[in-house]
Structure 1
């Protein structure tokens, strides 16, 4: 494993926004960058610890072909912003592996990566699922390397690690009334609540507010499910194969039931009245809300002019590039940033770890809904009164929380 201490900061284009709000740890160089090469497959892996708070940093581990250090660094910075925005006493990090998760050798690559990163996973880095890596898979990998569960670095700080591990397992295994794993859908639920907060702030009727969603994995699928449940017509859903479209709204539960393990919908079973369009058609759909929930950098300078939605809610990390966001803002198309909209899974995991929520899924839903509405309402209010873009307001919230956390050096985990 090689430590890369002198790589120039990649940046994500929003540094001026951060500086305008305050000079904060979010705007600093990452605490640590690491790179790793798998001796068996040649796959390259990365870890960026952006900030450590109370000696801990949190952020998922992704696996996809083409993953880069630049991408992982952007994501780690986003995690630091996310934890600060929700007032969590923990820093931000991210891991990434440039490898195809569908390859039969992927599990072995994950195991060897985690063995190489073990010093961080053992003491500092609390990780979880991300693109190409499910929570169930990463927990299988942690069991393989004798670390128990992916929240290990936090759990081992508890006064009673065995009891905390049991509580975490119980929380991750909790089922909703629909029979869904809470840990699988809480992130998408949070995105849906961010969308509904916008609908509420704008005074729109849910039944007449349309949504288009790029991605049908845990994040995109969960978002679609809970928007559909709230009465919002989801007119378009896109997976890696293409876009499914119905102007009156799709039968979201039925389509999600047709997904395979890679989040792709079986086209042979899609109803005849559902149009099958190219994959990127979802971005240009005439819908009130567009949710990029699949890949980073989905909306860029070369395609931003095709966006016709009235609001973009970032469910994917870094779903909208800065230059594209500037164009959208100039057109008065609001972008609710990822570090607010998709924070649900991360903040819920820490509420679970800290004993702030129990095993009742609806207790977690209620808290997340209230927290999401509070932040989105503040963003909408500042846009309406002083014209501040949502990202600027969100960064201000993060900066204020960081100031309040400045004196916190110990983390108590029950």
Structure 2
């Protein structure tokens, strides 16, 4: 099977902050009905190629879940811990206002929480980061109220808008495990990253009875072969997704951050930075399945190596697409502020897609990504109507 051909994005735009020198980009990979969706990230070292890769992935996500929108991404090369970061993000969004007004729906991503980006949008008089879609509504005020109610609705583990992505990844992990003959309670998992996505994934896997044996944050890896007390550890996190080592039980081993990737487990979940798994470190991976919770966490050459070893890699644009799919279901009024409706719909869709991909996969077919890639699909959905 041939690797899907990569087309050029619809638009690339560079921005330079006059006050700090920070550089940012908007890449619109595709437009559907004049709209594209994708979060905005901020990290020191972010590049335009990274943003373009992520925008391409967003086109795949929206196509895979049959959403009436194309793919885009924003990125800023700046440290989100810098006290000037909020102002940098505000100026970036202000510069992108023509696209945010009409064409680009954005949201949280690495280094940018949903609350933060909503605060920035409120500063700019746009109320909420789904502004471009909400503006198409016959009653923008009512749509904004529905969206905000859904985002902040209570769910096990936190606010629904914060945990829905992790819930989707957890269901992808469980579906992949079942497709390879493992029950939830027989499945051991290592999760790299305990931010919104990684933390949610670990929480719901623990809740399902799986044994989360390793968690990693910027300070290192916490490991216990008997299984970690995930909820207790997550409760110690600060706003940057780092666990308080003073509250870690003495029985838990403290290992270097990079040790997470070599943890012996059934499923490895990279849920932190892009390009975490490379040709230089992929040989150390000791898992049967990799489920990509982060955006673009595995380089192409590393994925080919893992595939050759018989390790199934469930691609990011399937495994972590739950957050964007749910956001559009919320916008379109298909779900509301009852988390059970959202969990039920996402569970059904994620389980179906992952099971179909993993159950029929053989290493000789090439990476699962090749079979799952639908970014080139020409879509002519019904006219987008936001109620």
TM-score, normalised to structure 2, is 0.97
How has the CA–CA distance of structure 1 residues 409 and 28 changed in structure 2, closer, same or farther, with 3 Å as cutoff? farther
Does structure 1 residue 148 correspond to structure 2 residue 127?
yes
Question: 2:3 — aligned with what?
Answer: 17
Point out 4+ residue stretches in structure 1 off by more than 4 angstroms.
none
Displacement of 1:75:
0.4
- Contact 1:382/1:388 (<8 A) preserved: no
SS in 1 for 2:361: helix
Does structure 1 residue 62 correspond to structure 2 residue 35?
no
Question: 1:119 — aligned with what?
Answer: 98
- Contact 2:310/2:363 (<8 A) preserved: no
Does structure 1 residue 308 correspond to structure 2 residue 294?
no
Displacement of 1:409:
6.5
- Contact 1:54/1:409 (<8 A) preserved: no
1:237-316 → structure 2 map (5 Å cutoff)? 237-316=215-294
Give me the whole-angstrom Cα distance separating, in 2, the residues matched to 1:190 and 1:412: 25
Displacement of 1:203:
1.9
SS in 1 for 2:21: coil
Does structure 1 residue 222 correspond to structure 2 residue 200?
yes
Question: 1:183 — aligned with what?
Answer: 161
Q: What is the aligned length?
A: 387
Give me the whole-angstrom Cα distance separating, in 1, the residues matched to 2:373 and 2:157: 36
1:91-132: per-residue Cα shift (whole Å, max 9, x none)? Answer: 000000010111110111011111100000011000000000
Does structure 1 residue 378 correspond to structure 2 residue 356?
yes
- Contact 2:59/2:71 (<8 A) preserved: yes
Question: 2:372 — aligned with what?
Answer: 394
SS in 2 for 1:287: coil
Give me the whole-angstrom Cα distance separating, in 2, the residues matched to 1:342 and 1:331: 24
- Contact 2:168/2:320 (<8 A) preserved: yes
1:120-135 → structure 2 map (5 Å cutoff)? 120-135=99-114
- Contact 2:157/2:163 (<8 A) preserved: no
Question: 2:176 — aligned with what?
Answer: 198
- Contact 1:56/1:91 (<8 A) preserved: yes
- Partner residue of 1:93 out of 72, 92, 104: 72
1:191-223: per-residue Cα shift (whole Å, max 9, x none)? Answer: 000000011112213222110000000000000
Question: 1:361 — aligned with what?
Answer: 339
TM-score, normalised to structure 1, is 0.91
SS in 1 for 2:279: coil
SS in 2 for 1:317: coil
- Contact 1:207/1:231 (<8 A) preserved: yes
How has the CA–CA distance of structure 1 residues 96 and 385 changed in structure 2, closer, same or farther, with 3 Å as cutoff? closer
Give me the whole-angstrom Cα distance separating, in 1, the residues matched to 2:351 and 2:4: 22
Give me the whole-angstrom Cα distance separating, in 2, the residues matched to 1:288 and 1:369: 21
Question: 2:20 — aligned with what?
Answer: 41
Displacement of 1:388:
5.4
- Contact 1:35/1:44 (<8 A) preserved: yes
Question: 1:408 — aligned with what?
Answer: 381
Question: 1:169 — aligned with what?
Answer: 148
Q: CA RMSD in A?
A: 1.5
